[in-house]
Amino acid sequence: EHVTEATPAADSKNNAPKEPSSSEATTDPHAAKKKATASRSRPLKIEYSEGPLHETGDRSPYFAWQPENWKQVLDNVRKMRKETEAPVDTMGCDKCPDHSLPDKVVRYQLLVSLMLSSQTKDEVTHAAVGRLREFALTPESVAAADEKRIEELIYPVSFYKNKAKHLKRTAQMLLEQYDGDIPDSVEGLCKLPGVGPKMAYLAMSCGWGRTVGIGVDTHVHRIANRLGWLPTPTKTPEQTRKGLEAWLPRDLWDEVNHLLVGFGQTVCKPVGPKCSSCLNCELCPFGRKQGKAKSSKQ
C-alpha cells in the first residue's frame, strides 16, 4: 500500500505554530509566570486634565489649587469690614437706582451706574446718577437727550465725554433690541458700548439675580494678588477673575466682590495700606513684606 506523506510546504496551515494544549501548558513551569508578567507590564492609559477645574454650582474643587489659610483670611476680612463702613456700602452701584420704579427701569439705572463707575470713586458715581435721575433716567430720556447735556450731568466722572457717548448709544440699542430692558446674558451685555466683563457680571448678579462670575475691579484685582490668592501674579482683572473662579466656591462669588471692594477702600488701599492694623498681616504675603521692610528701617 502506497501512502503519500504531506510535506510542510504542502499545507500552509501546518506552517502556523501549534497552540499548546492545556496539558502541555501545565508542563511548562514558566508559562504562567511569563503570561502574568506580560499582563502586568502592559502600559496603562492615564489621562490628565490641563489647567484648573471650573465647576459650577456649590462645589468643592477636587484638583484645583487653593491658597493656604484662605478661609481664615476671608473671615478676618469679614470682621474688619463690619468695623468700618465703606463707600461701597452706601454708594455702590446697587445703591444708585430708584428701587421704587419698575424692575426694568431699576435694571437700566443699575447698568448706567456700572458704566459710570469705571475708574471713578463711588461718591462721584452716586452723585452723577442722582443728577441723571432728576433729569429722568430711562432709556427713552437718555436716547433722546443731547450728548452735551449728558456730559454736563455726569461730569466729573472719569472719561465723561466717552461715557456720555456710550450711554446714549446703549440707550438706543436697548430700545431697539431689548424693549428698553438690559440683556440677560454676559455676552449680550458685553456687546453694549462701554460695558466690560466686570460690569456684566455685576449686572447679572444685581439686576437678574444670577451669579455667573466674579466682578473684579481694581480693588479685587489688587487685593487678590496681595493676599496670594492666585497661583501666579496676574496682570489684568480678567486674569484675576478666572484665577479666583478656579478655586473659590461659587456661593462666595457675590460676597467676595462686595467684601474686597470695601476692604480696599478702607484698609488695603492702593497707596498707604494699613498693614500694621490688618488682622491678616501675618497671613498675607504682602503684609509680611511690609512688616519686614518697616522693621529693617527701625
What are the residue numbers of the active site?
198
Grid cell for residue 80: 474688619
C-alpha distances in Å from residue 16, one per residue of 10, 19, 26, 96, 102: 13, 9, 21, 87, 86
Contact 214, 205 (CB under 8 A): no
Measured distance CA(24)–CA(138) in Å, rounded: 92
Phi-psi sector, 174: left (phi>0), alpha (psi -120 to 50), beta: alpha
Among 231, 191, 234, 232, CA closest to 216: 234
Grid cell for residue 211: 451669579
Residue with cell 502600559: 43
Residue with cell 484648573: 52
Contacts of 163 (CB under 8 A, 6+ apart): 115, 116, 118, 154, 157, 194
